[in-house]
């Protein structure tokens, strides 16, 4: 099954943050998960799709982030 992942990092004089997004298989479909926060600390996590969706729909959400 496809699994897409992306990680972004931002650093300036006052900030050092990271953001991660993944398409994860679940129950024969897919969910889009996210994690964000200060680099090196515990990240906050969330889900961008409330329920599992077909891969094409999850990919549209993933690409829109």
Phi-psi region of 57 (alpha: psi -120 to 50; beta: other; left: phi over 0): alpha
pTM of the predicted structure, to 2 decimals: 0.86
Closest CA to 2 of 62, 61, 65, 55: 55
Closest CA to 33 of 43, 44, 21, 25: 21
Q: What angle do CA 15, 8, 61 make, to 5 degrees?
A: 125
- CA–CA separation, 53 and 39 (whole Å): 30
pLDDT tens per residue, range 4-58? 999 999 999 999 999 999 999 999 999 999 999 999 999 999 999 989 999 999 9
């Amino acid at each position: 099954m496809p699994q897409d992942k992306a990680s972004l990092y931002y650093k300036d004089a006052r900030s050092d943050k990271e953001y991660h997004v993944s398409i994860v298989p679940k129950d024969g479909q897919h969910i889009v998960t996210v994690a964000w926060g200060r680099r090196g600390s515990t990240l906050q996590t969330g889900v961008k799709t409330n329920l599992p969706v077909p891969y094409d729909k999850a990919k549209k959400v993933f690409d829109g982030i």
